[in-house]
């Protein structure tokens, strides 16, 4: 009996992916609960492999495939997404299975060529096209920029399975494959959206509309990470619509780092002001919170206040890290403010203010600074900044 066996998803579809219990960092995103790389086998008159797994897990995937069918019988691979966590085992597949073709989007063709520089037979398909493979009909829908240019989804009408690549996925290693067998998926789904999908929220909204208009008879959503959706399909689609809309809430995030506790004191005063103004507050010292955990809290917030000291005329390094990361995620509709301490000149807090402006955060008050240690006036200014931010987010619809 092999160590790794396939898991049946529907009559014809099997999960043949890999479980990565150890992963703790996914290109800068903290994955405290590991992940899965989901690949699927569609067993028609000939087996079709949909996506692969990260390269070190190729053996695990091949074992799972072998528990259902002879891998050499796979003549067609569908590659919904070229990122290496899904395409990384294609060289191993090409070596051992030698498929006749790899079906992908037009952008996928270019991406796979640029990644692997191999002479594989790539067969691009058009958005909305259909194809019969091994006696089964497949439909292909481009999902460009969700979250890469090459991304597409594939639909198997006979079993109602939507293979959604990264869309609706999450980083969560688990022994079981279905959403109703997985405890605590909400936070990981939100974290995945916040850290991977959020920058493309406008495209998510358009994609959901296009998807709805197609009226596909979806019974199962099979993403490339985390659980397969069979119970909460409507719920995860509704969550995507909500997260994509980025409506501000009455929660404020106070993000800071500190050298000698001066900025920490300002953060505390700002948090008190936020509560006084009617906001809910999450204080997130950067020494205790990873940037990707800040991103997920911000997904369902309405405000961001950021504080940091000056170090050698520069922003404190942890703030530079976090704000560089958050800026790329393109959060919308945030109100906020900046604060921080300095010894010679307030370059750190001024830099934070500039970053918040670049992020499109609507500043509710002047940046609060203090030299060395905040006095009563500085603490009062931080309190009033918090209050002003709270009142501003309370006024939003
Ligand atoms: Fe899971 Fe965009 O790769």
The string of pLDDT tens digits covering residues 61-100 is: 999 999 999 999 999 999 999 999 999 999 999 999 999 9
CATH T-level fold of 251-389: Rossmann fold (3.40.50)
Q: Give the closest residue to 191 by CA, choosing from 287, 285, 297.
A: 297
Q: Give the closest residue to 140 by CA, choosing from 184, 132, 204.
A: 132
Report whether pLDDT(1) > 80.
no
* Strand-strand pairing, 362-363 and 335-342: parallel
pLDDT band per the 50, 70, 90 thresholds, residue 30: very high
Find the helix packing angle between 376-395 and 262-276, rounded to 10°.
Answer: 40
User: What is the rounded distance in angstroms from the CA atom of residue 86 to the CA atom of residue 152?
Assistant: 13
85 Cα to the center of ligand 1, angstroms: 6
The protein residue with its alpha carbon nearest to ligand 1, atom 2, reads 83
**Average confidence score pLDDT of the chain:** 97
Average pLDDT estimate for 235-243: 98
Q: Give the closest residue to 77 by CA, choosing from 107, 112, 110.
A: 112
SS3 211: helix
| pTM for the structure as a whole | 0.96
**CATH number for the domain whose boundaries are 7-245:** 3.60.15.10
Average pLDDT estimate for 1-13: 91
The protein residue with its alpha carbon nearest to ligand 1, atom 3, reads 83
Report whether pLDDT(2) > 80.
no
The protein residue with its alpha carbon nearest to ligand 1, atom 1, reads 166
Quick one: pLDDT at residue 176? Answer: 96
Q: Give the closest residue to 237 by CA, choosing from 254, 212, 257.
A: 212
Report whether pLDDT(320) > 60.
yes
Report whether pLDDT(395) > 60.
yes
> In the chain, where does DSSP find H-type helix?
58-66, 84-87, 90-96, 106-116, 185-192, 201-214, 233-245, 262-276, 291-299, 317-329, 347-358, 376-395
CB of residue 83 inside a 6 A radius of ligand 1: yes
Question: Within a 10 A sphere around the Cβ of 263, how many other Cβ atoms?
Answer: 30
How do residues 123-180 score in pLDDT, each as one tens digit?
999 999 999 999 999 999 999 999 999 999 999 999 999 999 999 999 999 999 999 9
CB of residue 166 inside a 6 A radius of ligand 1: yes
The domain spans of the chain are: 7-245, 251-389
User: What is the rounded distance in angstroms from the CA atom of residue 324 to the CA atom of residue 347?
Assistant: 17
* Residues in Cβ contact with 329 at an 8 Å cutoff, skipping those fewer than 6 apart: 194, 195, 198, 199, 295, 298
CB of residue 171 inside a 6 A radius of ligand 1: no
pLDDT band per the 50, 70, 90 thresholds, residue 397: low
Report whether pLDDT(396) > 70.
no
Side-chain-side CA neighbours of residue 68 (13 Å): 28
pLDDT band per the 50, 70, 90 thresholds, residue 308: very high
CB of residue 81 inside a 6 A radius of ligand 1: yes
């Amino acid at each position: 009996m092999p160590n790794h066996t396939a898991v049946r998803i529907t009559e014809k579809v099997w999960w043949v992916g890999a479980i990565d219990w150890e992963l703790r960092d996914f290109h800068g995103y903290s994955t405290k609960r590991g992940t899965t790389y989901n690949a699927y086998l569609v067993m028609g008159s000939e087996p079709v492999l949909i996506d692969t797994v990260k390269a070190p897990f190729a053996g695990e995937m091949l074992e799972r495939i072998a528990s259902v069918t002879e891998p050499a019988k796979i003549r067609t691979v569908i590659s919904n997404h070229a990122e290496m966590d899904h395409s990384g085992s294609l060289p191993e597949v090409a070596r051992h299975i030698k498929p006749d073709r790899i079906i992908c989007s037009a952008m996928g063709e270019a991406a796979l060529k640029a990644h692997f520089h191999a002479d594989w037979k790539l067969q691009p398909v058009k958005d909305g096209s259909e194809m019969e493979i091994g006696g089964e009909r497949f439909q292909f829908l481009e999902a460009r920029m969700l979250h890469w240019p090459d991304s597409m989804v594939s639909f198997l009408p006979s079993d109602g399975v939507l293979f959604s690549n990264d869309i609706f996925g999450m980083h969560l290693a688990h022994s079981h494959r279905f959403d109703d067998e997985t405890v605590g998926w909400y936070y990981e789904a939100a974290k995945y959206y916040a850290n991977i999908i959020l920058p493309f929220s406008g495209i998510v909204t358009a994609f959901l509309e296009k998807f709805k208009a197609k009226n596909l008879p979806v019974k199962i959503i099979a993403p490339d990470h985390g659980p397969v959706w069979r119970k909460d399909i409507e719920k995860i689609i509704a969550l995507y619509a909500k997260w994509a809309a980025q409506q501000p809430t009455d929660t404020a995030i106070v993000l800071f780092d500190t050298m000698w506790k001066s900025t920490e004191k300002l953060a505390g005063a700002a948090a008190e002001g936020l509560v006084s103004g009617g906001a809910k507050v999450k204080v997130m010292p950067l020494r205790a919170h990873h940037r990707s955990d800040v991103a997920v809290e911000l997904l369902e917030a309405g405000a961001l206040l950021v504080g940091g000291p000056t170090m050698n005329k520069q922003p404190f390094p942890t703030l530079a890290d976090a704000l560089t990361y958050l800026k790329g995620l393109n959060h919308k509709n945030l109100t906020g403010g900046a604060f921080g301490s300095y010894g010679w000149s307030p370059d750190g807090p001024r830099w934070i203010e500039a970053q918040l402006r670049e992020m499109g955060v609507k500043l509710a008050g002047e940046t609060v600074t203090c030299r060395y240690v905040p006095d009563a006036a500085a603490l009062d200014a931080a309190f009033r900044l918090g209050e002003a931010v709270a009142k501003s987010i309370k006024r939003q619809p």
